[in-house]
Structure 1
Amino acid sequence: MSYSILLIDDDEVNHDIAKTMLGESHEYFSAYNGEEALALFGERKYDAILLDVVMPGMNGYEVCKAIRLAPQNAQTPVLFVSSKDDIEDKLEGFKAGGDDYITKPFDVEELSFRIDRLVKYSCEIDTLKVNCEAAEEVTMTAITSCSELGLCLEFIESSYQCNTLSDLSNAILATCQNLHLHASVQLGLLGEFRDFSNCGAINPLESELLRKGRDSKTVINIEKRSFFNSAYCSLLIKNMPIDDEEKYGRFNDILALVVRGADARLKSLETNIKAIQAKNKGLRELSQVASRDLEDIEQVFKNYHNACQELVERLIFDVEDSMMSFGVSDAQEQTLRETLDSAKDDLQQIQEHSEDMSATFNDFFIKLDKLID
């Protein structure tokens, strides 16, 4: 396919190389600095731009930013061509508005592929833009001409902020109230369902019908009464406008969307709750394992302390038993006794410190269990 390509580079040799690599099927235009390139944009539109980074005067990033300022050039694909291969340089090209970045040296296939891809991508963007503008126009027309749809969109938006069954039921019933509809709704999480209404209490028969309707996961119309059902939500409308066929059809569509939106939100909440429960279960199991390990360590330390205590006491006894044969003076004997008693006191302090640490860890695990619960 033939493209119109603008080559922006201060080196004429690079222009010749690019033209040789791309072949004669394309239409080429050359600019040797940023000012000359910007002037050429006033003459025509190009399919693609090959833009050098390092140039006298305006560098490639500055040229790209200037190109993007003109509305008619905002979507023209820009391929930076540079010998710089650092990620910072590529990020700078991206921030300037570039679409791609190729590092010298490169081969013919890579350059041709990059340009072809950029042009196709630009065409797709143009097509999507036209389609989006058309869709947006249709949507805005529908919202303007149909206030009921606006209420539906407001509900979908507000449902993302609902974190409980009560919050979501209030949003659903408020939407129905704004449509002047008498409604009852049954919502559920983790297999537990609750009933709500904007027109008084729900009797047992209505609750049973909501449950059976929910199991059907379909829309059921019975004269003025209509059930809109999904796996997590069942909505009963008691005063559908059956005398206005057009309005009746709109309400069917809108309420079906409301129920689908509520169902999606409830599924999301249930997924989040299950994830939190699984995480808490893992934390609880970890806490239990750590607590058991601490008990084992504490028992080992106690056994070690008792052994040390027995060793010191035996040493004291042996020393006292032997002092008679040592021929030491009373003062020396007193010094030995004080030294042994000091060692015994130090050992006792170590024991008390270990008990304090054990109590601290136990308190931590108790607090962790309460937090998980």
Structure 2
Amino acid sequence: MLQMTSENQSPALTVLTVDDSKTNHKIVTKILSPEFLIESAFSGKECLELLDKSFKSQKMPHLILLDVTMPDMDGYETCQHIKSDHRFNNIPVLFLSGCCSIDEKLKGYEVGGDDYITKPFDEQELAAKIRKASQVAQQTTKLHQRAEVATQAVAKAVRVSSNISTCMRFMSKLALVKSIQELVDAFFAATQELGLSSSLYVPMKPHAQTFFDDHIEKELEIELFNKLDGQQTFVHLGRRLIVQCGNTRFLIKNMPILEERENETLKSYILTLLEGFHTRLRSLQVEEGVKRQREVLQITLSKAKELIDKMAVNSALVVSRSHDIFEQTLGRVEGTLADFGLNETQEQSILGQMQDLSGNMDQLHSSLLLEDKNVQHLTADLEKVVSAMSKTIDRDCGLSGT
């Protein structure tokens, strides 16, 4: 049963006494046992063995009272071993020795000792020094605990800052990517910065496509993606996590084991990355669709213009050819009217009708030429409409330079 101190009723601190003399152990135990728990070792080697066991059982002594003069391994060498081991180097060490020279005390200080008590010692002096050293040990322990908490907090802050930076860099790249493959590469670069091994299911036409960050196709993961319905944002599968945004699905195969709050924060970063990916994916798909529609529209316009041009040329040829045929026919009629035995009045009547017909054909020719000009104007107007439509589509879709 743990001994309690009379002052604060908390468990007593443990003092490990190391001395090859049983008598000295009895004296020290008698003086200190009212306030402290006492553990004993009779050599430097036994001291180190006890420390190793106490570390494993997480019942470390709070202070070590170490005799200088011992066989095989003296107190100075024992202290050097203690202070060179990161598991024990924070435990205060007080030397006990019959030598009181300044050189001996400095030697103890050089090997890591915290104080030096000379034999024979006064009981009150020993108790006071042990009490003072225990207080220092408690304060040191608290400082180390606070430092550990602070270190962990700083590490978390660094991770959070790094994760935020990763998200921001990815978001800034989104407007620069011009293809789905570039988008996938940028996404995997960001998730690898987060230390994640992953694969990505991307809805595309005519079929969805699965990408792997190690470029090694895995049938099981493809089947897993195909079975999901997209209803849940997060699907937990042990250390694996699937994140879904619309029809875009992201599989993490090595989700870190973190505290709940830090885990939720990491999940929010991952979801932010996937939402950014999904949004840019949709815009790239819209851009591709607009590009195809514009190409079709331009091809259709080009074909219509070509057809209209051919019609205009053919129309002009027909009118010109008709006019030539008519002129030739009129000439022949004039040359052969005499053969029909017509009088002059009849001949003039027929020639007048032929000339009226020629005038009508000239008017038809002029009308066709006018219509050709109108068609040309219509073609120019259609080109302007197509250009305006393309600019409007680009503006509405947020495109530029495409």
Is TM-score (shorter-chain normalized) higher than 0.5? no
Query: Under a length normalisation based on structure 1, what TM-score does the superposition of the two structures give?
Result: 0.43
Greater C-alpha radius of gyration: 2
Normalised by the size of structure 2, how large is the TM-score?
0.40
